[in-house]
Amino acid sequence: MPTRSLPTCVDVLIAGAGTAGVPAAIQAARAGASVLLVEKSAMPGGTTTAARVPFPGIFHAWGKQVIAGIGWDLVERCVAECGGKLPDFSTPPAAHWMHQVGVQGPVFAALCDETMQQAGVQVLYHTMLAAVARTGQDWQVTLCTKTGLATVQARILIDCTGDANLAALAGCELIIPEHTQPATLCCLSGGYDPKALDLPAIEAAAAQAVAEGRLHPTDAGWDRTRPRLGSWLNSFGNNANHIHGIQARTSEGRSELEIEARAALLRLYRFLRTQPGLAGLRIQAVAAECGVRETATLVGRDTITAQDYVTGRLWSDPVCHAFYPIDLHTSDGGGLDCRQLQPGVVPSVPRGALLPQQVDNFIVAGRSLSSDRLANSALRVQATSMATGQAAGAMAALACSRDLAPADVPACQLRALLEQHGAIVPPAAP
């Protein structure tokens, strides 16, 4: 197929083709906006694909669907494409993770590409952000491509990087925590039968290896007090380790994280290969990048607090629901502070959590939306990111077509466009 040239001017430029960026781009393009989506890596899907966390959720709460639209459509289509079966969502599960929907990451990425192409989104992979400047009411964004710097003018910018990188360049105020949640490197191991392993003996040997400095407690687990290898071995390396003490929003921090994560995997591999039943251990695949849970959040016009979240506060201008327990990964003790929502509670996200306080024509979607640390530990997950991304794309398209700021788009028009494309918009506060 012929290579399309990079546009010099678009209505909407979106940074980050992850779980927020893809629905944002599709929604904006379907609503008539010209859209350029730039992504630092080689594929769309973000955490779902590049970080190998292929169970986006959660879309259902207390027996009914609360998040739908473009993201859910991609998930549902991927399950069908791969011959899978969705869980029975009609009954609340015993544990929230039972309503996660598994997808095949490579197929999901291809479906994202296909759907964006059909919508008319122009996508530029292997591209980083270099600079941002205002030109009147518009933005001028300098991109670092594989062949040099390129400049694009856009009416609206949407930050879906997860790290608020575009927001920082645009001068938005951010909250950058001194200590962040630990990250995780997912992989796929093989060459052994978990049922044939003497797990207590392996964990005893691991404790000795930790004492000798050959292994760290969280190289294969979340518990900082002692090594727990059962989850890693039984899940074949899926979402079962912690890398601590790194701020991953910068290239320097991200490099340190990726190097340390691979060092942890190598320590674990060397140890496990010496254990009975694991001589044939293989690392068959590893995520292209670490899964990062926390870097920076926007100071927005509305900030979602933990109290807002756990009480299901109604907002005057909501754009989507959210549903996940408070899920703060920690670097001490057992490694996780998980607090389930009370029966019937369904949180929501206001438009103001996506809008900077003093920067116009700019929207943030995904895990960097304006929220305190505990609330963000729940809001950061894929389904909510998909919903906020679609809301951002709708807001941007309407702002462009009506020559308005995103904050000034009438709520009734935003709701109508989102619902037209399958989204579920919460009721507004009376």
First to last CA, the chain: 53
Between these two residues, 143 and 95, which has the higher pLDDT value?
A: 143
Give the residue-averaged pLDDT of 42-47. Answer: 96
pLDDT at 3 over 80: no
- pLDDT tens sequence across 253-306: 999 999 999 999 999 999 999 999 999 999 999 999 999 999 999 999 999 999
- pLDDT above 70 covers a percentage of the chain that reads 99
d(CA 287, CA 290): 7
Q: Whole-angstrom Cα distance, residue 333 to residue 330?
A: 8
Residue 313 and residue 346: Cα distance in Å, rounded? 9
3-state secondary structure of 163: coil
| Averaged pLDDT score across all residues of the chain | 96
Domains of the chain listed by start with CATH number: 9-178+295-420 (3.50.50.60), 187-286 (no CATH)
Type of residue numbered 416: A
> Residue 385: phi, psi to the nearest 5?
-60, -40
Q: Is-contact 375 304, C-beta < 8 A?
A: yes
pLDDT digits (tens, 9 = 90+) for 225-248: 999 999 999 999 999 999 999 999
- Give the model's pLDDT for residue 181: 97
Q: Above 60 in pLDDT, residue 1?
A: no
Residue with tokens 């960097």: 368
d(CA 233, CA 190) in angstroms, rounded, equals 9
Alpha-helix runs per DSSP H in 82-191: 105-119, 165-169
pLDDT in tens, 334-362: 999 999 999 999 999 999 999 999 999 99
Q: What is the pTM of this model?
A: 0.96
